Structure 1
Amino acid sequence: MPQHDFTKGSVRRQMISFAGPIMLTNLLQVSYQFIDSLWVGNLLGGNALGAITISSTIVVTLLAFILGINNATLTILSQQKGMNDKSGLKKYINAFVVLLATLSILVGLLGFIFSEQLLQLLHTPNEMLHEANLYLRINFLGILFIMGYNFIGTVLRALGDSQTPLKFVFVAVVLNGVLDPLFIEVFQWGIQGAAYATVLAQGFSFLLALIYTFHRRLVPFSIPTLPSREEVWLILKLGIPAGLQMMVIYAGITAILTVVNSFDGAVVAGFGASQRIDSLITIPAMALGTAVNSMAGQNIGANRWDRVRQIALYGAVYNVIIMLVIASVVYLFAEALTALFVKETDTVRFGTDYLKIIAFFYPFIGLNFILNGIVRAAGAMYQVLILNILSFWLLRYPLTFFCSHLIGQNGIALGMGISFIFSSIFAFSYFKWGGWRKKPLFAA
């Protein structure tokens, strides 16, 4: 599959062709979780579904920091690609492989050993503890697979290839969908079967990605060697704040849930259903954010700042158009969308009101993805971390808390929506007047 050189050619056409497969990849990853939950919930019941929900939350939270470091891959490798520095590209890929593999193995082993203590720390109900522990320990053993195929996909996108990672995710989703009922129902392995299905699907996809990229010579992998101090320092310099960004986001989402949980069960359930819809709605904006990160990174490496401005402009325009279209559909079909997940009248009513209120705020949250993606491409990770802290802790949580206490349950959506507007203003202000352009990552 050809890799894009984003330093030349039509920015407009490149963004469409590059972001499209990323959107499909993100959609498949959401469907992966949905299919997994569907099989477990229907074949093993509510307790098993609750057990994998709790266990998955722990895995994602502990992986947040490593995934954040992986996000630095886009910035460093895309700039190396733009600089046309083949030797530097190979060295940094090696450094990422060594660092991420070491961290993944360490987290996997510690998580396996202390899985039960982690579950008890979250006050996991006793009736779910045994199954949750089984599921969690198997997933910790497979963390290297999760990180492996995520890392290869990120490297390929940094090099301008968004189509090949789509194949690997598609294989994992299909294989997991086949193995889940086979292991759970036919082999009678219960919740362990669901865990094995997930790990094997990701492991097979990881091996396929390795073989495919080696055979096609898509990525300059080499036998791992100890990276230099300078390489490790740059990765950690970008990776640590990127990892903290992920942790700030997850902590912020948890804080919002404390506001939601102060209302009755109908609101909590309706909010949960709305968040599932939200996860689908924001896919285009997130995909555009990833696309502009890769595209801008290559052009920053090539010192093509005129094209960086074009990338920011087209990204913002595409985001507004796409998110307004989605917002209109959500507004018109809010009740039907909510009813896909829940049936109780009060729950559907809250979910419908929530979606109708927040729908037309979606373009603003999309602008955050675009502008932060451009800034992140220059390596301004600490600055994006500060913007995320402002977004979640100085805006979203306080505004949601205030509005919900002022006007009741509909204040949850209103407070979050208003925070999207202010977040985008802060992001645009830093993009326009901040110093993110002035500190090159690599010496000329």
Structure 2
Amino acid sequence: MNQQDFTKGNIMKQIVDFSTPIIFTNLLQVSYQFIDSLWVGNLLGANALGAIAVSSTVIFTILSFIIGVNNAALTILSQQKGKDSSEGLKNYLNAFAVVLTLMSVTLGAVGLVFSERILILLKTPPEMVSDAAAYLKINFMGILFLFGYNFISTVLRALGDSKTPLRFVTAAVILNAILDPFLISTLNMGIEGAAFATIFSQGAAFLFGLYLVLRRKLAPFTIPKIPKKEEVALILRLGIPSGLQMTVISAGVMAIMSVVNSFGSEVVAGFGASQRIDSIIMLPAMALGTAINSMAGQNIGANEWGRVHKIGLYGVFFNFAIMIAIAVLTVLFAEFAVRLFIQEKEAVAFGVQYLRTIAFFYPFLGINFILNGVVRGAGAMFQVLVLNIISFWILRYPLTYLFSNMFGEQGISYGMGTSFIISSIFAFLYYMYGKWNKKAIFADG
């Protein structure tokens, strides 16, 4: 049994042991689009790679509301685990499964219908719209698979198991690596082949994950039934602001993409390549945020507040140590990494400049993941939503727009980096002086 009880034991060891499999799992998940980009960039060129960069941003935005509800699941289920309530776990598992299925199908249909219109609104270069729309629509067809295996991963992590999700995601990535060149090149499906390889692999991850959970009885799943009103009410009360957190983040990313698009296809391609690497750089901080959320949630459920604050403190220290080391590696190998995807001189130059500038700002963004993870573990979803609005719409997008007007395309990284530092200060101030620790999300809490 891989499940851990975070209400006792060595906190630092638990953070390392629990977050490490999440880092590798997230790395594998990112590699879906990383592998797509690698094949597309080399076989189909910079325009096709830029099309994937733009469409991937849209996918994340449309689906992010459900991702946010998934974060609410992590908080609710981890607190139930901390309370040692098997009945509560079973009931909320059922309720989340029903709600997430309905939401994913609805948003998938909306995304499928409005793909091209969204791309045009984003000022996507005309030569990229066709490829981007094709990639986008196929990905929306597989939305249920994507969130099926993500939900299973969330459930297991809430129960203290971060190792099992690594197994079925590994299998899916291996399948994706095999399917990508076969569909893109051998069958001459182009960018559509990359998209189909991704959703087939995600479907395999979902089915394998479901098989493992049911066969080994890793979580108290039951035959779906209509959930109770109070269960749905709590899910919506936490899930809507949590979903809006992710929507605010991804919409902010889309807004920044519109700034990037205004500089033309070379900068878009360079930004697309750097974002693939950028997404890998951020994995440790994101994984730590997820681990901290689950660990804090269990201890809040058990009313172990002393451990909750130690979890936040140790998480910040661990974040800085890892992210500074990664920043150094990024500066040293930026050009090599960008050239894995594209060869066009101007696009490479922009990608390298962006990465070398932004790398040392990421430890500050990591503070947001850690401290917001603790706050989210208490159920203070609306407060984290406000912090994200400040981070993206009051700081990141305006500063990126301002600095890009002042310094040209180089200003994109200056504006984003500056916003990371300022937003980490807001997160710290709320963590220290906010009333998030007064939240009680259950009637008996």
The answer, yes or no, to whether TM exceeds 0.5 is: yes
1:47-80 deviations in Å (ceiling 9; x for gaps)? 6656555554443322111121111111010000
Alignment correspondent of 2:390 = 390
1:210-245 deviations in Å (ceiling 9; x for gaps)? 111011110100011111111111111111111111
1:287-313 deviations in Å (ceiling 9; x for gaps)? 111110010000000000010011011
Q: Displacement, 1:204? A: 1.7
1:124-181 deviations in Å (ceiling 9; x for gaps)? 7787666655554443332211111110011111111111111111111111121233
Counterpart secondary structure, 1:379: coil
State the alpha-carbon separation in 2 of the partners of residues 313 and 379 from structure 1: 19
How many residues align? The count is 444
Alignment correspondent of 1:160 = 160
Alignment correspondent of 2:93 = 93
State the alpha-carbon separation in 2 of the partners of residues 118 and 319 from structure 1: 35
Counterpart code for 2:5 = D
State the alpha-carbon separation in 1 of the partners of residues 248 and 100 from structure 2: 21
Counterpart secondary structure, 2:2: coil
Q: Displacement, 1:363? A: 1.3
Alignment correspondent of 2:30 = 30
Q: Residues 3 and 344 of structure 1: is their aligned pair in 2 closer, same or farther, counting only changes over 3 Å?
A: same
Counterpart code for 2:161 = D
Check whether the contact 2:55–2:136 (CA below 8 A) recurs between aligned residues.
yes
**What does 1:32-431 correspond to in 2, within 5 Å?**
32-43=32-43, 52-112=52-112, 135-187=135-187, 189=189, 191-263=191-263, 267-431=267-431
State the alpha-carbon separation in 2 of the partners of residues 354 and 51 from structure 1: 19
State the alpha-carbon separation in 2 of the partners of residues 406 and 123 from structure 1: 21
State the alpha-carbon separation in 2 of the partners of residues 187 and 437 from structure 1: 56
Q: Displacement, 1:111? A: 4.2
Check whether the contact 2:324–2:360 (CA below 8 A) recurs between aligned residues.
yes
Q: 321-330 or 189-198: which moved more?
A: 189-198
State the alpha-carbon separation in 1 of the partners of residues 416 and 47 from structure 2: 31
Q: Residues 127 and 282 of structure 1: is their aligned pair in 2 closer, same or farther, counting only changes over 3 Å?
A: closer
Counterpart code for 1:443 = A
Q: Residues 389 and 12 of structure 1: is their aligned pair in 2 closer, same or farther, counting only changes over 3 Å?
A: same
Q: 282-291 or 257-266: which moved more?
A: 257-266
Q: Residues 191 and 350 of structure 1: is their aligned pair in 2 closer, same or farther, counting only changes over 3 Å?
A: closer
Q: Residues 55 and 256 of structure 1: is their aligned pair in 2 closer, same or farther, counting only changes over 3 Å?
A: closer
Q: 96-105 or 183-192: which moved more?
A: 183-192
Q: Residues 347 and 63 of structure 1: is their aligned pair in 2 closer, same or farther, counting only changes over 3 Å?
A: closer
Q: Displacement, 1:321? A: 1.0
Q: Displacement, 1:122? A: 5.7
Q: Residues 350 and 139 of structure 1: is their aligned pair in 2 closer, same or farther, counting only changes over 3 Å?
A: closer
**What does 1:11-26 correspond to in 2, within 5 Å?**
11-26=11-26
Q: Residues 199 and 271 of structure 1: is their aligned pair in 2 closer, same or farther, counting only changes over 3 Å?
A: closer
State the alpha-carbon separation in 2 of the partners of residues 203 and 32 from structure 1: 13
State the alpha-carbon separation in 1 of the partners of residues 292 and 174 from structure 2: 29
Counterpart code for 1:228 = K
Q: 44-53 or 142-151: which moved more?
A: 44-53
Counterpart code for 1:257 = M
Check whether the contact 2:57–2:253 (CA below 8 A) recurs between aligned residues.
no
Counterpart secondary structure, 1:437: helix
Q: Residues 329 and 140 of structure 1: is their aligned pair in 2 closer, same or farther, counting only changes over 3 Å?
A: closer
Q: 265-274 or 90-99: which moved more?
A: 265-274
Check whether the contact 2:292–2:373 (CA below 8 A) recurs between aligned residues.
yes
Question: What percent identity do the matched residue pairs reach?
Answer: 62
State the alpha-carbon separation in 1 of the partners of residues 133 and 407 from structure 2: 41
State the alpha-carbon separation in 2 of the partners of residues 116 and 75 from structure 1: 36
1:96-131 deviations in Å (ceiling 9; x for gaps)? 001011122233344445556656666777876666
Counterpart secondary structure, 1:224: coil
State the alpha-carbon separation in 2 of the partners of residues 409 and 227 from structure 1: 51
Alignment correspondent of 1:439 = 439
State the alpha-carbon separation in 2 of the partners of residues 120 and 357 from structure 1: 30
Counterpart code for 1:211 = Y
State the alpha-carbon separation in 2 of the partners of residues 43 and 276 from structure 1: 17
State the alpha-carbon separation in 2 of the partners of residues 135 and 407 from structure 1: 33
TM-score scaled by length of structure 2 = 0.91
Q: Residues 327 and 43 of structure 1: is their aligned pair in 2 closer, same or farther, counting only changes over 3 Å?
A: closer
State the alpha-carbon separation in 2 of the partners of residues 58 and 314 from structure 1: 35
Q: 359-368 or 411-420: which moved more?
A: 411-420
Counterpart code for 1:428 = F
Q: Displacement, 1:5? A: 0.5
State the alpha-carbon separation in 1 of the partners of residues 131 and 358 from structure 2: 37
State the alpha-carbon separation in 2 of the partners of residues 405 and 108 from structure 1: 36
Counterpart code for 2:326 = I
State the alpha-carbon separation in 2 of the partners of residues 68 and 320 from structure 1: 25
TM-score scaled by length of structure 1 = 0.91
List runs of 5+ in structure 1 lacking aligned partners. Answer: none
Counterpart code for 1:96 = F
Counterpart code for 2:61 = T
List runs of 5+ in structure 2 lacking aligned partners. Answer: none
State the alpha-carbon separation in 2 of the partners of residues 208 and 392 from structure 1: 37
